[in-house]
Structure 1
C-alpha cells in the first residue's frame, strides 16, 4: 500500500491518531482469521478467507502491491480486481501516510496492530471514515510476506454522532435561555432532574435543593394532578397542554399555558414541563381584536375609498362596500379568492404576485402609485393605489390595499393633452375657451390635494435639477419662443448673462443655416417632444455642435411652455472623428497583419520544407562519402530550418490570438486542464512528472486558448526541471471580481531580474543548446490572458521552483 499523495485527489487536512476501539463481532472474526493465517498457508487459502469476509478486505505483498481483493472492497472503494491486482492503490490521504507506514512497519516485523479509526480515499476521490483491522501473513520460510487489511465504513456513524452532539448543545442553550419556566422530570423516580433559572426562582430554592422536589410539588403548583399523572404514566410523545392560573409573590394572579412533552435523551426518556405566562399576550390580543373591530367598522362603509384585505396567499379576507361599487364584485363572491384572479389584468399578474412575495419575504415594500386594474366586466379601472402590511394577532401577514378611483381625473388629463396638442395653432381664437378649461382644471386640482402636493414636490425637484445641471436648461413660451428662464450652464455655454439670455428667443440661439431645424420643429409639433443634433451660435457668432432635447407641457395656468436641454458636443464630435480615423487605421493594420500571417504560414514555410528535403536528399545521396564535419553541418542546417519553421508557426499563433479566437463561454476549468494534460501525456510519462490540482472554478473564456495556456505553463514546468522528477500543482482562489490561477513547480527557478523578460517573444533564458523551444510559449500565454482582460506574472527563486500566476475576471463584459 503506497502512501504518497494521490494525483488530482483531495487532501485531508486533519489527521486522526491511532486509538483502540472496543472489540466487537468483527474483531472476533479478525482474530479467527489471524489464527487461520498463522502458519504457512497457500495463496489460494488466503484468497478464500478474504473472499468470505462481508467487509471490504484485500491482500497486499510487503511492497504494497495488491494480491487479491473481495467484492465488498470493489463496492466500497471503486477499484475492480482487473484494475488493482499487481498495482499500488493510492488510497491514503497525505496526512495519514505516516500512520499507515507505521502500521505496515509493525506488521512486517511480525507484530500486531489493534483496530483503529482512520480515513481512506475512494477511486472517485471521496474521503471515507473507516475502522481498519490488519494482520500479517508469512511465506513458506516463515518470514513476513505481506498483510491483510479489513475496512469498515463508519462515515455515517461519524456524521450522526456529530449531529447528535450539536443538537444536544442547541437544546441546552435554548433550555437555559428560555423566557418560560421549564422543568425536566424523571418519570420513574418522580424527581426534578433539572430546571432553568426562571423555574428555580419560582420554586424559591437553589439548584442543589432540586432532588428534594418532584412531581407532587409540581402537581400542587399547577393543580393538575390528573393531567400530569396521566401524561407521566403514558409518556405520550405528542404535546399535552392546558391553561391554569398561578399566584405570584406580589399577590397578582396570572394566566399560564402549561405544555407537557416527552424528551428522549441519549440515556433516558424525561418529561419536560414548560409554563408560559400568557397574561400580557391575552390582554394584547384582546386590545388588537377590539382595534380590528373598530378598523373594520370604520372602513366598511367609507364612501369613494375601496379597501381590500388579503392574507399571505393573496386570498381576500376583507372587501368593503366601496370595493364592490368600484370593481363590481359582491363581498360574498370574493372572500377566499385570490387577488390576481379578480382585479389584476393578465399582463400584470406575474409582476404583482412577485412584488407581494418580495414584500412578505424580504420586506421590499410595494410603493403607492397609479394602476390600471380590472372590473368584473373586464373593463379597465384606473386607480391610485397604496398598500400597508402588518401581522395580525396570530402572527400572520395581512396586506390591505386602499384604492381611489381616478377615472374622472384621467379623463380630464386626456382632454388637457388633446387641447395642448393644438394649443399653439389655436392660442388666439380659443383664448376664452382656454379660460373655462383652466377654471375646471383648477377645481379638479383642488379636489385632489395629493396631486397638488405631488406637483409642488415635483416643482422643487425640477428647480434643484434646473439650477445644478451641467447641461444648459432653458424654459421658453411656446407661442412666441420667448426665453423665460435659464440655468448657469446655459449662460456659460452661450457666453451671455442671464438677463441677456432672457431677452432672446430660442431661434436667436440657433444657426439659421442648419437644415436640420425644419425636421426638428416638425417632430416637436407632432410628438410634443423632439431630440436631435443642431448647430447653435454663441454671443461672438461662433457656431458649435449641440445635442438638443425639447419637451412641451402646460403650467397650472394653462400656458404652453417648453423645456429645452442643450449639451455642447464639440469635444465628442472631435473624439468621434479621431476615433473613426484610428479605427480605419487599425482595420488597415489588422488586414496587413492577416496578410503577413498568411505569408508566414504558407509562403515562408514551403521554402523551408524544400531546404530540409534537399539537405536530407544530399545526405542520403552521399551517405558514407561525406566527412563527419559535413554531416554535422547538414544536420545543423536541417535542425535550424525545422526550428525556423516552428518559430513561424508560433509567430502565426501569436498574431492570431486576438483576431482568430473563439467566442467566450462558460467553461469547466477542470475539463480544460484534463485536455491540456492529455495533450502532454507523452511528455508527462517520459519525465515521470506528478501533476495535482485543487477544485477549479468555472470561468468565462475561450476553451481552445485556455487549453493552450495550461499546456504551455505545465510544458515549461516539465521542460525546465531539475534532476528530480517534476512535481506540479494547479490551484485557484477568488480575489474580488476575479479568479487567480497558479501553476507551481519544483524546477530550476528564475532570477527576479528576468521576471518581465520571460514573457517577451523569442526570449530563452537558459540557452537553446540545453532546452528546445522557440521562446514564444510564455509570450503566447501573456497575450491570451490579456485578451481575457487578465494579468500574468511569475514568483520564483533560483533552485526553488517557480509559480506562474494569472487572473481571469469572474464575468467578462
Structure 2
C-alpha cells in the first residue's frame, strides 16, 4: 500500500489546499514537492512528461532518483545548505544543472526552490524547466560566433569578457581561458583606458547595433603590448542574465597600410612632372594631375569631363583611335612619340605610355596615360645629330685630305732610305727610319679615322644577310694571317641577320684579327657561335689568347686606346671602337669577358632578318 502524502491528508481540510494542488498541476513547468527527508510527495503532469515517470512511480521516492549519478555524491550537501538557510532562490547558481530521466538520459534544467512551512512540516517546492532548446540555441549561437571571420567578444554589463572566438585569440594573443573573466579594458591601449568605461556606459544607456567610435581612430592592445588599428561593431543582446554586448572586431592594419600607400602614390601622381591622365575607354577625362595642368595649360576642373581630343591635333586623331583599340584589347603602349596641343594652341612633342584601367571585375574601363614633354630632348637630339654629322664630315674631309700630303711624305722618306741607306752616318739612318715609320703610322691612323667616320655617314641600308657567308669571306681574305699564325677558326651554322654586309664583314675581321694578334704561345683557336637571346641573336667570338683584366673592359672600345706598349703589337687602337660603332648602328650591344692568360670572348647582338628565326 502506497504511503499517503501530507497533501493527500490535507486535501479535504481547506479550499486553500485544493487550490494549491490545482495551481501546481496547472503550472507549465515541472513541479515537484519534496519533504524534509528528501522524499517526493507530489508531482504534476509536466514533471511526468519531463522525467518519463508515472506519478505513482515517483511518489515516495528520494529526489536523488532524478539526479544523474555523477552529481549524486554532492547533492546531499547542497540540500543541507539549502535547508540550513531556506529561502526562495534559483538552485545551483553558477553551475550547470541536469536531470535524469527514467531511461537514464540526461536533460539540462533550471530549478527554482521555494521553501514551504505547513502544519505537517517543512517542504520544498521545486520548479523545473527543461532548457534543452535554450542550450541548443546557445550552442548554435556559440558555433556562429566561433565561425565568424572576424574577432568576436561578448562582454557583460560589468565590462568583463564572457565569450570569445578563435579569431579573437589569434588577434589579441590571449588563449580563450585567459580571456574569460578578464576586463575588456585589458585589450584597450593604456592611453585610452581612462575614458573607456564612460564610452561603455554611454552605449549601455542607449544600446543599439552600431559602429563604435564613429569619427575616432580605434586601436586594440595585444597581449605582448603591441597595438593595431581596428574597427568595432557593437550589438546589444538581451539575455536571461541581463544585457550583454557582442563586439565584432576587424584588424584594419592591412587596409591602413594600403591607404597610406595609396595616399603616397596619389601624391606622387599629383606632383609628378609628367602629365598623368585617366580617361574612359571613349576618351572622357576622369583624372588630371598637376603635371597635366603645367604641360597643357588646363586646370583639373576645366579638363575633367571633357574628351581627350581637346589636346590632340586633328591629324593625330587616327593614331589616337588606334591606341584606344589596343587598350580595348588589353595591350599596353610604351613610349609612343607623338604630338599634343596646349590650351594656347601651340604644339609639343611628347612620349606617351598607355596602360589599361580595370574594374574590380577585371573589365577594362579606361586607360591611364603618362605624357612626357620631349620637345627639348628632341631639339637636343637634333642638335647632337647635326653636330655629329658635321663632326663626321669634318673627320672624313680631314682624313681624306691628309692622305695626299702624308702619302708624299711617306714616299719621299722611303726614297731617302733606299738611296742614302749606309751612305750617311748612323744617326742620319736612324732619323730617316723614324721619319719613314712615323709617316706610315700616321697613314694608318688617318685611314682608320676615315673608316670610323664612314660607319655612320656611308653605311648602307640594313638588309637580310647570311652571316655564315660573310664570315666565310672574311676567313678567305685573312687566310695568309691564319696560315702564318697556325690559327684554327671554328664555327657552326650562323643565322640570317638584318645588317650592312660590308660593316658586318669589317666587324668579323676586326674581332677575329684581334684574336689572332693577341695570341699566347699556343696556336690561336677561335670559336664563333650564335644563339637566340630574346628578340636578338647573340654572337660570340672566343679565343685562347693572352686575355686581359676586366677593369679595362670599357676602355678597349675607346678610340686610340691600347693596353700594351707601342710596338709590341701592330695597330692604331681604333679597331674595337669601329666595331662598337658598327654594332650600335645595328641597334645592338657589344661587350667583353676575359681572363688574363685564359683568353677572351667578345659578345654582340644583332636583329634577326625576317624569316631568320629566333
Q: TM-score w.r.t. structure 2 length?
A: 0.41
Q: Is the radius of gyration larger for structure 1 or structure 2?
A: 2
